[in-house]
A and B are shown apart, each in its own frame.
Chain A
Amino acid sequence: MTNHWIDYKNSDVFMNIGGNTAENHPISMKWIEKARETKGAKLIVVDPRVSRTAAVADLYVPIRPGTNVAYLGGLIQYILANKLYHKEYVENYTNATFLINEGFKWDDVTGLFEGVQDNPARNAKGYNQATWQYQRDEEGNVRKDPEMRDPNCVFQIMRKFYAKYSLDNISKITGAPKDVLEESYKLFASTGQPGKAGNIMYAMGITQFTHGAQSVRSVAVPQLLLGNIGIPGGGVNAQRGQANVQGACDMGMLYHIVTGYMPTPQQAAHATLADYNAATPGGYWANRPKFMASMLKAWWPDLRPEQSYPFLPKLDGTDHSHIASYKLMGEGEVKGMICWADNPAVSGPTAGAKRQYQANLDWLISVDLFENETAAFWQKEAGANPADIKTEVFLLPGAAGYEKDGTKTNSGRWIQWNWKAQDPPGDAKSDLWIADRLFKAVRAEYEKGGVFPDPITRMNWDYGDEADPERVDKEINGYDVRTGALYTSFGQLKDDGSTACGSWIYTGFFSDPANPACKKRIKETQGIGSNSNWSWAWPLNRRIVYNRGAADPSGKPWNPDLPLFRWDGTAWQRNDVPDFNAAIPPEDSAKNAFIMTAEGHARLFTQGLNDAPLPIHYEPAESPVANLLYPQATYNPVSQRFYPPTEHTVVNDEERARYPYVITTYRVCEHYQSGIMTRNIPWLNETMPELFIEISEEMAKEKDIANGDTVTIESKRLFNNGEQKGIVAKACVTKRLKPMTINGDKVHVVGMPWHWGYAGMAKGAITNDLAPSVGDPNTTIPEYKAFLCNIRKGGKLA
Chain B
Amino acid sequence: MTKSILIDTSKCMACRGCQVACKQWNQLPAEQTTFTGTYETPPSLSTHTWMKITFNEVEEGGKVKWFFGNQRCMHCTDAGCMISCPAGAIYHTEAGTVAIDEKKCIGCNYCVANCPFQAVSFDRATNLPFKCTFCLDRTSNGLQPACAAACPTGAITFGDRNAMVSRASMRVGQLKDAGNRNATIYGLEEVNGTGMLYVLADKPEHYSLPADPQVPFGARLWGVLFKPFRIFVVLAVGLGLWANRAQVKEVEEAKKAQKSSQGVK
Contacts and interface: CB of A to CB of B under 8 A. Distances in A.
A23 B13 contact: yes
Interface string B1-16: 0000000001111111
Contacts of A685: 30, 33
B68 A688 contact: no
A249 to B, nearest CB: 25
Given A52-B66, A669-B15, A730-B37, A686 B31 contact: yes
Interface stretch (A212-220, A303-311, A603-611, A731-739): A731-739
A50 interface: yes
Nearest to A62: B64
B37 A731 contact: yes
Interface in B151-174: 152-155, 171, 174
Interface in A1-53: 22-23, 26-27, 29-30, 33-34, 37, 40, 50, 52-53
A58 B201 CA distance: 12
Nearest to B48: A686
B16 A732 contact: no
Nearest to A21: B13
Nearest to A56: B13
Contacts of A53: 13
B114 to A, nearest CB: 28
Contact of A708 (B12, B30, B35): B35
For chain A, the bracket of interface size reads 35 or more
Nearest to A51: B66
Contacts of A734: 57
B166 to A, nearest CB: 15
Interface stretch (B17-25, B79-87, B138-146, B222-230): B17-25
A683 interface: yes
Given A29-B153, A50-B64, A686 B13 contact: no
B13 A733 contact: no
B64 A736 contact: yes
Contact of B15 (A23, A40, A692): A23
B35 to A, nearest CB: 4
Given A22-B15, A26-B152, A689 B33 contact: yes
Nearest to B42: A686
B94 interface: no
A53 B12 CA distance: 10
Nearest to B9: A56
Contacts of A691: 35
Contacts of A26: 13, 15, 17, 152-153
Contacts of B178: 40, 58
Contact of A687 (B13, B20, B24, B264): B20
Contacts of B65: 55
A668 B38 CA distance: 13
Given A33-B154, A37-B174, A52-B13, A690 B20 contact: no
B36 interface: yes
Contacts of B265: 689-690, 762-763
Nearest to B201: A56
Contact of A30 (B36, B67, B68, B152): B152
A682 B29 contact: yes
B145 to A, nearest CB: 17
Nearest to A24: B15
A690 B32 CA distance: 11
B14 A27 contact: no
A29 B13 contact: yes
A688 B41 contact: yes
B66 A687 contact: no
Interface string B237-265: 00000000000000000000000000011
Given A30-B154, A33-B11, A52-B13, A689 B57 contact: no
Given A683-B20, A683-B24, A731-B37, A56 B30 contact: no
B59 interface: yes
A117 interface: no
Contacts of B58: 735
A668 B14 CA distance: 11
23 contacts: A26-B17, A27-B152, A33-B155, A37-B174, A52-B14, A52-B15, A52-B68, A55-B66, A55-B68, A56-B10, A56-B11, A58-B178, A669-B16, A682-B29, A683-B23, A685-B33, A686-B31, A688-B41, A689-B35, A706-B37, A730-B35, A736-B64, A762-B265
A692 B37 CA distance: 8
Interface string A698-733: 000000001110000000000000000000001111
B126 interface: no
A23 to B, nearest CB: 7
Contacts of A762: 265
Contacts of B41: 686-689
A470 interface: no
A54 B37 CA distance: 19
A491 to B, nearest CB: 38
Q: Which 7 A-B pairs have the closest CB atoms?
A: A707-B37, A682-B30, A22-B13, A55-B66, A708-B37, A690-B35, A686-B30
A472 B20 CA distance: 37
Interface string B203-226: 000000000000000000000000
Contacts, number: 112
B119 to A, nearest CB: 19
Interface of B: 10-17, 19-20, 23-24, 29-39, 41-42, 57-59, 64-68, 152-155, 171, 174, 178, 264-265
Contacts of A736: 57, 64, 66
A708 B34 CA distance: 9
Interface of A: 22-23, 26-27, 29-30, 33-34, 37, 40, 50, 52-56, 58, 668-670, 682-692, 706-708, 730-736, 738, 761-763
Contacts of B31: 686
Nearest to A729: B35
A698 to B, nearest CB: 12
Contacts of A668: 39
Given A29-B153, A50-B64, A52-B14, A686 B35 contact: no
Contacts of B29: 682
A670 B23 CA distance: 14
A708 B36 contact: yes
Contacts of B19: 687
Contact of B37 (A58, A669, A686, A733): A733
Contacts of B33: 685-687, 689
Contacts of B35: 688-692, 708, 730, 732
A26 B20 CA distance: 15
Given A26-B17, A683-B24, A687-B19, A735 B57 contact: yes
Contacts of B23: 683
Contacts of A686: 30-33, 41-42
Nearest to B155: A33
Nearest to B170: A37
Contacts of A23: 13, 15
A761 B20 CA distance: 17
B216 to A, nearest CB: 31
A53 B58 CA distance: 16
A54 B64 CA distance: 10
B15 A684 contact: no
A729 to B, nearest CB: 9
A50 B66 contact: yes
A367 B213 CA distance: 54
**Most chain A C-beta atoms within 10 Å of own C-beta, residue among B65, B153, B154:** B153
Given A55-B68, A683-B23, A689-B34, 4 more contacts: A23-B13, A37-B174, A731-B37, A732-B38
Contacts of B264: 761
A180 to B, nearest CB: 10
B64 A735 contact: yes
Nearest to B65: A55
Contacts of B154: 30, 33-34
A447 to B, nearest CB: 48
A735 B59 contact: yes
Contacts of B38: 707, 732
A690 B34 contact: yes
